[in-house]
């Protein structure tokens, strides 16, 4: 029997997203696995990773719950685990939790989110996390069968708070609206913002770039130092 999300990820835990975009010097599965090992040594409660190669490499080296995504297709649309096949491939690679686009945008194959979730659940008992952008999308994803909802896509679909920090308003609204864990993800830059997300009602938080993207971390320092003389 596959463990539920809350059996895998403890409340108030830190999930570290180990991803690198195309063109990044870190864009190698072994490097992502080393990032994941570092997160494990630092006390992370879980991991998030993209693609079958990275998920397979990380799962072979790290003993932590692993949220797998499979980014495919056009980034302007639904591309985070956009199909049933993409979800099953990521489970076969070693993911213990599936994350997918839970917004109300059209799916590439024309199916509904409810149809996709039903078909995935018919094939695997791995918990499903819906990445959403609004409270309405989160409520719809929960009704469709998602086990968990996350604020991952707020500000990236033309809806939600696209400010520099996490969408704490969406965290609060979702926590009041759905009967499942709400995960704060997206633009969490430091410990104070992570704590604010928990205070807003998040079950746990996902932090990516602030921990695993040295390019952005360096740029933030450079930009801040550039204001010294002004």
Q: From CA 95, how far away is CA 65, in angstroms rounded? A: 8
Contact 8, 97 (CB under 8 A): yes
> Where residue 163 falls among pLDDT bands split at 50, 70, 90?
confident
Q: From CA 119, how far away is CA 195, in angstroms rounded? A: 36
pLDDT value at residue 1: 67
Residue 23, number of CB atoms within 10 A of its CB: 7
Task: Write the pLDDT tens digit of every residue in 86-120.
Answer: 999 999 999 999 999 999 999 999 999 999 999 99
pLDDT value at residue 161: 65
pLDDT value at residue 47: 98
pLDDT value at residue 230: 65
The length of the chain is 230
> Where residue 164 falls among pLDDT bands split at 50, 70, 90?
confident
pLDDT value at residue 101: 98
Residue-by-residue DSSP string for the chain: -PPPHHHHS-TT-EEEE----TT-TT-SHHHHHHHHHHHHHTT-SEEEEESHHHHHHHHHH--S-EEEE-B-S-TTSS-BS-SHHHHHHHHHHT-SEEEEE-SSSPPTTS--HHHHHHHHHHH----EEEE-SSHHHHHHHHHHT-SEEE-TTTTSSS-S--SSS--HHHHHHHHHH-SS-EEEES---SHHHHHHHHHTT-SEEEE-HHHH-HHHHHHHHHHHHTTTT-
The CA-based angle 149-152-198, given to 5 degrees, is 70
The pTM (predicted TM-score) of the whole model is 0.96
Task: Assign a CATH topology to domain 10-224.
Answer: TIM Barrel (3.20.20)
% of the chain exceeding 70 in pLDDT: 97
Task: Write the pLDDT tens digit of every residue in 27-79.
Answer: 999 999 999 999 999 999 999 999 999 999 999 999 999 999 999 999 989 99
Domain range list for the chain: 10-224
At residue 215, does pLDDT exceed 80? yes
């Amino acid at each position: 029997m596959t463990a539920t999300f809350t059996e895998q990820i403890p409340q108030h835990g830190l999930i570290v997203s180990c991803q690198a975009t195309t063109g990044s010097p870190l864009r190698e599965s072994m490097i992502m696995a080393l990032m994941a090992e570092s997160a494990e040594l630092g006390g992370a409660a879980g991991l998030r990773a993209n693609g079958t190669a990275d998920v397979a490499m990380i799962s072979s080296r790290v003993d932590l719950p692993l949220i797998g995504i499979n980014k495919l297709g056009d980034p302007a649309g639904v591309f985070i685990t956009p199909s049933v096949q993409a979800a099953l491939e990521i489970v076969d690679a070693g993911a213990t939790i599936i994350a997918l686009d839970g917004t109300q945008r059209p799916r590439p194959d024309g199916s509904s989110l409810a149809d996709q979730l039903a078909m995935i659940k018919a094939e695997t008992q791995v918990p499903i996390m819906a990445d959403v952008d609004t409270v309405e999308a989160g409520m719809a994803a929960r009704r469709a069968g998602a086990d968990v909802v996350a604020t991952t896509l707020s500000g990236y679909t033309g809806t939600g708070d696209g400010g520099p920090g996490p969408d704490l308003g969406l965290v609060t609204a979702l926590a009041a609206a759905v009967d499942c864990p709400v995960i704060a993800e997206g633009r969490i830059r430091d410990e104070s913002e992570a704590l604010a997300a928990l205070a807003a009602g998040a079950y746990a938080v996902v932090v990516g770039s602030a921990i695993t993207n040295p390019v952005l971390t360096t740029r933030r320092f450079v930009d801040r130092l550039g204001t010294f003389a002004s």
